[in-house]
Amino acid sequence: MLVFDAHLDLSMNALEWNRDLTQPVAEIRRREQGLSDKPDRGNNTVSLVEMRRGRVGLCVATQIARYVKEGNPLPGWKSPQIAWAMTQGQLAWYRAMEELGWMVQITDRQGLLDHLKLWQEDPPPDAPIGYILSLEGADSLWSLEHVERAYQYGLRAIGPAHYGPGTYAPGTHATGPMTPAGHKLLAKMEQLGIILDATHLCDEAFWDALDHFGGPVWASHSNCRALVPHDRQFTDEQIQALIARGAVIGMPLDAWMMVPDWVPKKTTPQERNLTLEVMIDHIDHVCQLAGNADHVGIGTDLDGGFGTEQCPMDVDTIADLQKLPEMLSRRGYSDADIEKIMYRNFVDFLLRAWA
């Protein structure tokens, strides 16, 4: 079955992890033997080869470059201009993948319909992976003119915050509403038709953003706070508010967002018996709140700074998402609902947003 993954940091992995994603995962792991500069070296799960093998024919692919002001202890770039330059390098990588035929950017309704037809009708082995460009954390957009410039090169979704305090909004582990600059950003996004990604907004900023933004909203990669009590996850009230706005919520596979009391670099998937069944627990929670399967999808965040050491133990590569249809079927989901969860909900969301 076709898979739509709503959150993959592909260009970050290529540029900052120096991974050649045109290679098989096994080859990338081989090249990383003996390296220790990143916690997930040798444990990667994503490459364009594996995406094709697993029929992950559509994804939301990110640009990400955090700007950190003086006094902010988080890692990041020391000026918004440096952060902007980093996102432009990431854009150049996506363009290179397009030139090689590995990827194709999707920016409008017709492009999405054409790509969907390609992947649903027995795609050729070299079919390009369609990607919708998203910006995770907006601080690299150092003026509203840069928002317009980004829209022109294909940016179609923005998450105003990432971790900690930000120019436009506080994110995970921070507190407070959207900033005045954040309200202006939301107005520009609404004017251009850019999707608001509510992922990573702290609670107060989440509600503030929904109050000030009238355009399409989704959450690319967020789990349920009822199952994992942490501010990175959504409360039931937030999930219901997103459902009311017609949003789709992508379920991530980062272990600490899937099960409570995970200790990074210490807890193992085997200790917690962490499998894709836990992802389905979060999927099912959203479906129970909605009363249907129309508002949940997949947003793995695989290789988003972690690898097999911190994801379900039945996931070796992203191709293992193909295990989900049978698992969902065993949970009682119909074929139609399984199709919605695997790709249709996010596709239909975009068709509506780009109508």
Q: Are 300 and 7 in contact (CB under 8 A)?
A: yes
Instruction: Tell me what pLDDT residue 89 has.
Output: 98
What does the pLDDT read at residue 195?
99
Predicted TM-score (pTM) of this structure: 0.98
For the segment 280-303, what is each residue's pLDDT rounded down to a tens digit?
A: 999 999 999 999 999 999 999 999
Average pLDDT, the chain: 97
Q: Is 281 left (phi over 0), alpha (psi -120 to 50) or beta?
A: alpha
pLDDT band of residue 341 (cuts 50, 70, 90) is: very high
Q: Residue 343, SS3? A: helix
User: Three-class SS of residue 57?
Assistant: coil
Percent of the chain with pLDDT strictly greater than 70: 100
| pLDDT of 347 | 98
Residue 5, helix vs strand vs coil: strand
What is the model's pLDDT at position 98? 98
Q: Which residue has the higher pLDDT, 73 or 297?
A: 297
The pLDDT value recorded for residue 71 is 81
128 CB burial (10 A radius; 0-12, 13-18, 19+): buried
Give the whole-number percent of the chain exceeding pLDDT 90: 97
- Structure confidence at residue 227 (pLDDT): 98
Q: Where are the alpha helices (DSSP H) in 123-200?
A: 144-152, 180-192
pLDDT tens, residue by residue, 228-263: 999 999 999 999 999 999 999 999 999 999 999 999
- Identify whether the C-beta of residue 101 lies closer than 8 Å to the C-beta of residue 319: no
Q: Per-residue pLDDT averaged across 188-192, rounded?
A: 98
Per-residue pLDDT, averaged over 100-126, amounts to: 96
Q: Residues 152-178: pLDDT tens digits?
A: 999 999 999 999 999 999 999 999 999
Collapsing DSSP to helix, strand or coil, 149 comes out as helix
Give the number of domains in the chain.
1
Query: Does the pLDDT value for residue 122 go beyond 90?
Result: no
Q: Name residues whose C-beta falls within 8 Å of residue 236's C-beta, 6 or more positions apart in sequence.
A: 224, 225, 226, 289
Q: Identify the band that residue 121 occupies on the pLDDT scale cut at 50, 70 and 90.
A: confident
> Does the structure show a pLDDT above 90 at 70?
no
* Average pLDDT rounded to a whole number, residues 75-95: 97
- CA dist., res. 305 & res. 161, Å (int): 17
Mean pLDDT of the region 188-215 = 98
* Residue 67 confidence class, pLDDT cut points 50, 70, 90: very high
- What is the spatial distance between Cα 104 and Cα 147, in angstroms, rounded to a whole number? 22
Can you give the three-state secondary structure of 214-255, one letter per residue?
A: CCCEEECCCCECCCCCCCCCECHHHHHHHHHCCCCEEECCCH
In the predicted structure, residue 134 carries a pLDDT above the cut 90: yes
| Residue 122, Cβ density class (10 Å: 0-12 exposed, 13-18 middle, ≥19 buried) | exposed
Short-list 133, 106, 16, CA closest to 66: 16
Asked if residue 134 lies in contact with residue 63, where contact means CB atoms within 8 angstroms, the answer is: yes
CA distance from start to end of the chain = 25
CA 9 to chain centre: 7
**46: domain CATH number?**
3.20.20.140
CA angle (14 as vertex; 8, 16 as ends), nearest 5: 100
Segments forming the whole domain that contains residue 53: 4-353
